[in-house]
Amino acid sequence: MDWKAVKDEVTGYLQELIRIDTTNPPGNEIEAAEYIAGVLRQQGYHPLITESAPGRGNVTARLPGGPESPLLLLGHTDVVAAQPSMWTYPPFGGELHDGYVWGRGALDMKNMVAAELMVMLLLKRQRIGLNRDIIFAATADEEAGKGNHGPGWLLDNHPQQIEAPYILTEGGGHDIRVGDRHFYTCQTGQKGICRMRIKAHGQPGHGSMPNDENAVLRLCRAVAALGRIELPMHSSTTLQAFIEGIVAGQDARMTQLLRDVLDPERSANALQQLPLDADFKAQLRALLRNTAAVTMLSAGSKINIIPGEATAWIDGRLAPGQTQESFIAELRPCIGEDIEIEVDQYSPPIEAGADTELYRTIVEVMGRHDPKASVIPTLSTGGTDAKHICPRRPETQVYGFMPYRQAPGEEEMRLIHGHDERTSVENLLFATQVLYEIVCRFGRLT
């Protein structure tokens, strides 16, 4: 394989994708879908484009193989907004400077869409004999609101296009360092989402006559209480596997501290003592429990009127095994009985098993590409499109894996959703090679 040529080709696809502004809202992913479909057609595919709503385009393609269960390479083409004045190079320019492609989506996740597209083209060019269908899907609407126009819509309306028990998508492959060892995360689980409004009611009146039943004060008391409490710990299989993965090869003290993180009695102390960076520890703390972040407030409309109602919005995230009901039961004593709770959006936590042929293939291929590192199953605080798939198809194993090498202190991954998002072309090629090998090994006729 001429990987130098592949590098130039996949870089070109990424640049073109970045130049199509798919900021969501409104998305306008149809343009990206049509561009991708054009590339696939040139390679002899018969891509299908569907629109879940005007402009919300999804594109899928299939390479038929043998009777084993299909593998879906899934990516979203929409991106979050960018503020051009804050960028060194234009966010929708797709410019290449010093080995980096700059632009919104360079890391989340037009890079992986380009890599997965490249994998599909290579499979066809190399005439790889397959024991299973390989499906490609570049879908709309992951980044904003409820995400109703992407893979969930496809499963409801055109299930035959993307139905597969194995899925590779975003959310993993980050290179993390603990002690002198490094690891690639493979996202096998993600926290659930429970977004809610909490509402206080009170005695309305004139601003010149304060009363003790002011809705704003009631709400503020509840919000302040939420800021003070730490919800109880709920460990999970995925988090345990993550910690055990890191523990391998660490010294005795580090091993003890890491394992103590999972012990409710010792967790707080262990998190304080662990010689790891603050962001990593904050993430562990969040992964161990349900969290409730207050993100928006609304009350009153005039300076001289005490409103009868005040509202706060809570972005709740649930540890594996937790439900909407168990979460509310935890919050209730903190915010009080008189606060009304309305759930706006709920999707349950997800845990895929790491004991599958696909996971083992990922480990094996990575072992060859980076023998000093290991792959560890990872739980994520955030969600991917898995949250639209797993509730509809609970048996699906969704893995987040787009391996990126990061030197210690390198900041690339921190630029996701930030200004100056960019991807190194070397990493884009590295991930493309690894994904191609994973697909070949997992899908090849033996």
DSSP class of 274 = -
Q: Which is nearer to Zn ion, 109 or 299 (CB)?
A: 109
Are the CB atoms for 166 and 90 separated by under 8 Å? Answer: no
Question: Distance (Å, rounded) from C-alpha 109 to C-alpha 76?
Answer: 7
Rounded least distance, CB 149 to Zn ion, Å: 15
Tokens 């018969």 locate to 46
Q: Which window, 165-173, 199-207, 215-223, 316-324, contacts Zn ion (CB under 5 A)? A: 165-173
- Only segment of 14-22, 104-112, 296-304, 325-333 that touches Zn ion (CB under 5 A): 104-112
**402 scored as a contact of Zn ion (CB under 5 A):** no
Of these, 109, 118, 335, 402, which contacts Zn ion (CB under 5 A)?
109
- The residue whose two tokens read 């083409």 is 77
Is residue 29 at the binding interface for Zn ion, with CB under 5 A as the rule?
no
In angstroms, what CA-CA distances link 189 with 280, 356, 399? 17, 14, 8
Q: Residue written as tokens 């083992």?
A: 360
What residues from 112 to 141 belong to the interface with Zn ion (CB under 5 A)? none
H or E element in which residue 2 lies? none
Q: Where are the beta strands (DSSP E) in 240-396?
A: 291-299, 305-306, 309-318, 340-347, 350-351, 373-380
Selected range binding Zn ion among 31-39, 109-117, 284-292, 336-344, rule: CB under 5 A: 109-117
C-beta nearest to Zn ion: residue:
108
Cβ 175 to Zn ion shortest distance, Å: 18
By residue count, the chain amounts to 446
What are the structure tokens assigned to 54, written together?
């005007």
**Only segment of 18-26, 61-69, 102-110, 148-156 that touches Zn ion (CB under 5 A):** 102-110
By the rule CB under 5 A, 108 interacts with Zn ion: yes
In the bound state with Zn ion, the residue whose beta carbon lies nearer, of 107 and 310, is: 107
Give yes or no for a contact between 314 and 196, defined as CB atoms under 8 angstroms apart.
yes
Q: How far is the CB of 104 from Zn ion (least distance, A)?
A: 11
Query: Which region, judged by CB under 5 A, interacts with Zn ion, from 121-129, 162-170, 294-302, 435-443?
Result: 162-170
Q: Which residue has the tokens 């959006």?
A: 345
- Cα–Cα dist 406/131, whole Å: 34
For the bound state, the minimum distance from the C-beta of residue 196 to Zn ion, rounded and expressed in Å, comes to 24
The binding site for Zn ion (CB under 5 A) comprises 108-109, 170
